[in-house]
Structure 1
Amino acid sequence: MCGIVAAVSGGNVLPHLVQGLQRLEYRGYDSCGVALHAAGGLQRSRSTARVAELRAQVQADGLSAGTGIAHTRWATHGAPAEHNAHPHFSHGPGPLDAAAQRPARVALVHNGIIENHEELRAELQAQGYAFASQTDTEVIVHLVDALYQGDLLAAVRAALARLHGAYAIAVLHAAEPQRVVGARAGSPLVLGVGGGETEGGTTQPQQPHYLASDAMALAGVTDQIVYLAEGDVVDLQLGRYRIFDRSGQPLAAAERPLRTVQAHTGAAELGPYRHYMHKEIFEQPRALADTLEGVEAIAPDLFDGLGEQPATAAAVFAQIDRVLILACGTSYYSGCVAKYWLEELAGLPTAVEVASEYRYRTSVPEPRTLVVAISQSGETADTLAALRHAQSLGMGHTLALCNVATSALVRETALTYLTRAGVEIGVASTKAFSTQLAGLFLLTLALAQARGRLNAAQQAQQLKDMRHLPLALQAVLALEPQLIQWAEAFAQHEHALFLGRGPHYPIALEGALKLKEISYIHAEAYPAGELKHGPLALVTSAMPVVVVAPNDALLEKLKSNMQEVRARGGVLYVLADADSHIRSAEGLHVIRLPEHYGHLSPILHVVPLQLLAYHCALARGTDVDKPRNLAKSVTVE
């Protein structure tokens, strides 16, 4: 993975390809490249630098063409290096040292993972193909070449039949100018239509068409998008496109409808901020206000479906007696917070599963379960696979909590809540997390109401508290100068421990994740009550301990845990509420949040932890928005 852009046009597509890659940079990548069907055949440029450097490189080379493919790569097979970067070429069978002397025949970009690549590699090597990379992708380009008999579409179809795994691909052949063939299975791919569509997918002559792994890549180029379904193959030619299902049957335009998608690119501007992550932390009051906009009352219809087979939430809520939450990473931690809310306020037994584990373990299906899948992008491969696994077990009551209305997750679930965080560029999620918590709290209230556990006065108070969240967050953000001081000390350490209790334990987990993601400081989080069952052995003056300490029913227990740390010479950094009566002392640093916020307290307490991680990363000089080895949208296992 990570990003694909392709185009067929009557003009020069290179600017559109590079611009598309730049719009996908937020996903994270370690190399990039472009291949063009130019007058002299297939030409390629690749780089392990940023897309801006690739742009300068292709401009210096004077490359231009009407057909091309481009890619940003996040390494899965083979180190980040130019020879492993996409696009990959096939020059046909023959020795590798002579390949450069022969013109390239096939060019290909790929997101996903091919699970049987070793078997295919051995087979192709036996046919005389020499491999220039360590990637699984290179087997596809050689396989297409080996199967090519004058029709690129037929060759791609034949190659796909041999692949096991996940893929989104775009392919060129030297013998077929102004043609790109794409396909997807387990990895997202969209078609961008450049002109007015007519019956059968025919468009105005000379109008360009595009492929991309994300509609955002095509912002400013076209807003006419076709979302390709699992197993689809698409054949792009100038002024025409055709879509085929996994069985090879051509599809009518009505079966893959054209949608107008407004990709908002203004949110991608940095403005006065140094990094996107910093900007997005400070956008959280606005993001929460947007997420709550239009919520006039607690009602099931807030969650009515937007997907391909939508349902009404009122009907679904009446049929469920438990909740299963599926998610990965930061989204998983939002689900862990929601478990406390759902069980306490709605009285619903709730399980939270790491999606990549759930999909592979033997579980007990419960048809009366509401399956809640959480993903910022809505394209997270493990979360989608876990959702499909649950559906295959007969659990059809599904709900997507997502930030992207047009994502696969929204399309494949019966119910939906859109978080409206806006575009999130920084790899380390911030505003997506806080808006997920807001959406999950609304879901909790709606389920509590449906089960007769929330009267009108309680509903009104809870909504009043939620509407106050943006203002409360502004007050928390004003604590940044104190967190900068903490970060100056933190940045000198290589390890840290985070503690929390109840619904703030997942917030401690999220704080530890943020710190290690962007500052590369090793951090762990524990329920504070577990301190003496192991992690206390790690505590010294060299290992700072962060404590999330709201003034709730567990505060006195938490204070005892803090004393255990101080007795071992540990240094405490405590996020307390204004009325918690915890005072700074030697080895005890306290920042007070302006107010205790009851059930919604986790949303406020996570923000100082985001700022702490950001300023630690700043002090250590790391790449805040694009941390090493990580990608924004994880579309492979």
Structure 2
Amino acid sequence: MCGIVGYIGRREATPLLIQGLKRLEYRGYDSFGIATVGSDIDLFKKRGRISESESGAVTLHGSVGIGHTRWATHGEPNDVNAHPHTDCTGRLALVHNGVIENYIELKKQLLERGHTFRSETDTEVIVHLLEEQYTGDLLEAVRKTVPFLKGSYAILAVSAHDDRIVAARDASPLVLGIGDGELFAASDMTPLLEHTERIVFLEDGDIAEITPEGVQVYHEGEKVEREIELVNWCVEDAKKGGFAHFMLKEIFEQPQAFYETIRVGVDDAVRKVIRSAEEITLVACGTSYHTALIFKYLAEPLCNIPIRVELGSEFKYYPPPLRGLVIAVTQSGETADTMAALKMAKAHNCPTFAITNVQGSTVTRIADTTLMMRAGPEISVAATKSYIAQLAALMQIVNIRCDGAFDDMLAHAHLAIDEVLLQDMADAVALCRTAEHVFFVGRGPFYPVSLEGALKMKEISYIHAEGYAAGELKHGPFALLTPETPVVAVCPPGATYPVMVSNIKEMKARRAPIIALGVKGDSELEEIVDIFIPIPDTHPMVQVLTTSVVLQLLSYHTACALQCDIDKPRNLAKSVTVE
């Protein structure tokens, strides 16, 4: 959730730290701060957006520094609770992403030993523990501190008069960028892309000493070598490119994201795992959970294999019987609940499989096998092209189980996605923007498509939206239908088409205005609804993609009409790395 950046090298640190923090704004935050190392630790931190207060940070000088964007978990968003945090002496500073589960116990002990706390955060206990262990060697102090911590952490620590940064991670992501006489650290790759393509992914339990000359990594007290990997993302991928918002740019990048994920294909090791699976359990959260549900609807009848879909947040506490292949679906590869579920599956000796967008992420190191999405960096908090790329990966699995029956369809599906990008949404937006509640309904795979459509609407427009299997409305939600309650119905041809039409007529009888998505030329559907949005008449699997994109556009344009903060919706974070 929170964002971390660090810099050490030949240049002034502060401008690079501010630039890096801005690259991490998409993760969600409510305050930010920077510490630089000169003759002392110089500190600036502030509640609110970086753009509102960055002029206060530019007075900090030095070629060593750390920065942070905070998404509040312990203590309200304010200047004091913002990172970095310092020890009692002011000679140590630290930023942290994660949650220290035993912080109350540690804080009580530290208070009894005379430490003074300024904030309400769990993070501050770390810097006071560091203070007790520090005798001039920052690396040794961090090494002695981390065994006291229970929970998750990615840490960058600096000390006055010390030309180095010490990093540590456990169950929270931290990557290093290797430049020319300078090094960078960050929560993910986006702040590093314009400076280097050479990346080191730290692993759980690693402690790294970072100097201008290089990095040395230690694990369980021993020096270890971590491979320098070359990333294939570029900085232009993380810029708006003339679009009003990252979300719109990423919606328009979906044909390419789908095509690239399909084009790269699947290696023999992945094919072997998929073909040998007798049953599959998928674990995921949020949008990824919806793609997993779509996969279940597609794969069970086509592949004749039992499939279970579980929420990562529930899996840890109420695990199902663990048999067969377990697939983790996670855009970032760092989703805490999904990681916990995958570790549990491994503990039960299940073969594990990951679908992710981020090379070198934690899930790729936990899972036995990984299938990479090819979406490139996704900056907007609301997932769009990562959703489409996940569907591309999951549809590849269906295709493999069906001996390549859908090769041609998948190879050309991106053309249908491209066709709906310029759909006129004005009438539908006018209907939704004044509503307090919107229902999204569908059947079969279009039920989870409706769940995702409702999620997008509530995420970025703040309109209350719910997704339902269409037949379920009459089991309670019908009571909420009024002339002011629009219903968005996904109604392509197929086995459920007649009953969907019947459901729509029932909703119309309750005077609810209906926005319907159906294939071009469907005059029957167009006649009975208030607003008809045509989609290409293609294979049902492709219609899953096109209807999803139309619903993304509906939410986007509605949010624009309401002048919402599209890319950084309130209270939300891009990568949920805490439980």
Range into which the TM-score falls when normalised by the shorter chain: over 0.9
Q: Which residue of 1 is the match for residue 340 of structure 2?
A: 385
Matched, 1:43 2:42: yes
Gaps of 5+ in 2: none
Q: Which residue of 1 is the match for residue 472 of structure 2?
A: 530
Could you tell me how far 1:50 is from its partner in structure 2? 2.9
Could you tell me how far 1:257 is from its partner in structure 2? 1.8
Q: Which residue of 1 is the match for residue 194 of structure 2?
A: 220
The question of whether the paired residues in 2 share the 8 Å contact of 1:16 and 1:221 is answered with no
Q: Aligned partners of 2:239 and 2:276: how far apart in 1? A: 45
Q: How do 1:20-419 and structure 2 match up within 5 A?
A: 20-39=20-39, 41-59=40-58, 61=59, 63-92=60-89, 104-174=90-160, 176-195=161-180, 207-245=181-219, 247-251=220-224, 253=225, 256-295=226-265, 302-304=266-268, 312-366=269-323, 369-396=324-351, 398-419=352-373
Tell me which stretches of 4 or more aligned residues in structure 1 moved more than 6 Å.
none
Q: Which residue of 2 is the match for residue 443 of structure 1?
A: 397
Matched, 1:615 2:557: yes
Q: Aligned partners of 2:436 and 2:86: how far apart in 1? A: 43
The question of whether the paired residues in 1 share the 8 Å contact of 2:190 and 2:377 is answered with no
> Counterpart of 2:463 in structure 1: which amino acid?
I
Q: Aligned partners of 2:532 and 2:276: how far apart in 1? A: 47
The question of whether the paired residues in 1 share the 8 Å contact of 2:270 and 2:371 is answered with no
The question of whether the paired residues in 2 share the 8 Å contact of 1:26 and 1:632 is answered with yes
Alpha-carbon distance change, 115 to 582 in structure 1, aligned in 2, over 3 angstroms: farther
The question of whether the paired residues in 1 share the 8 Å contact of 2:5 and 2:67 is answered with yes
> Counterpart of 2:163 in structure 1: which amino acid?
Q
Could you tell me how far 1:37 is from its partner in structure 2? 0.7
The question of whether the paired residues in 2 share the 8 Å contact of 1:570 and 1:587 is answered with no
The question of whether the paired residues in 2 share the 8 Å contact of 1:303 and 1:416 is answered with no
Deviations 1:439-458 (A, max 9, x none): 11111110222xxxx6xxxx
Alpha-carbon distance change, 583 to 324 in structure 1, aligned in 2, over 3 angstroms: closer
Deviations 1:445-474 (A, max 9, x none): 10222xxxx6xxxx2xx2222222222122
Q: Aligned partners of 2:392 and 2:302: how far apart in 1? A: 15
The question of whether the paired residues in 2 share the 8 Å contact of 1:345 and 1:445 is answered with no
Q: Aligned partners of 1:83 and 1:596: how far apart in 2? A: 56
Count of aligned pairs = 579
Alpha-carbon distance change, 319 to 294 in structure 1, aligned in 2, over 3 angstroms: closer
Could you tell me how far 1:25 is from its partner in structure 2? 2.0
Matched, 1:471 2:471: no
Q: Aligned partners of 2:275 and 2:253: how far apart in 1? A: 36
Q: Aligned partners of 2:149 and 2:524: how far apart in 1? A: 60
Matched, 1:546 2:488: yes
Matched, 1:572 2:518: no
Alpha-carbon distance change, 240 to 475 in structure 1, aligned in 2, over 3 angstroms: closer
Give aligned-pair identity as a percent: 43
The question of whether the paired residues in 2 share the 8 Å contact of 1:515 and 1:521 is answered with yes
Q: Aligned partners of 1:429 and 1:294: how far apart in 2? A: 22
Could you tell me how far 1:585 is from its partner in structure 2? 5.7
Alignment TM-score, normalising by the size of structure 1: 0.87
> Counterpart of 1:485 in structure 2: which amino acid?
D
> Counterpart of 1:571 in structure 2: which amino acid?
P
The question of whether the paired residues in 1 share the 8 Å contact of 2:233 and 2:377 is answered with no
Alpha-carbon distance change, 7 to 272 in structure 1, aligned in 2, over 3 angstroms: closer
- The residue matched to 1:250 in structure 2 has which SS? strand
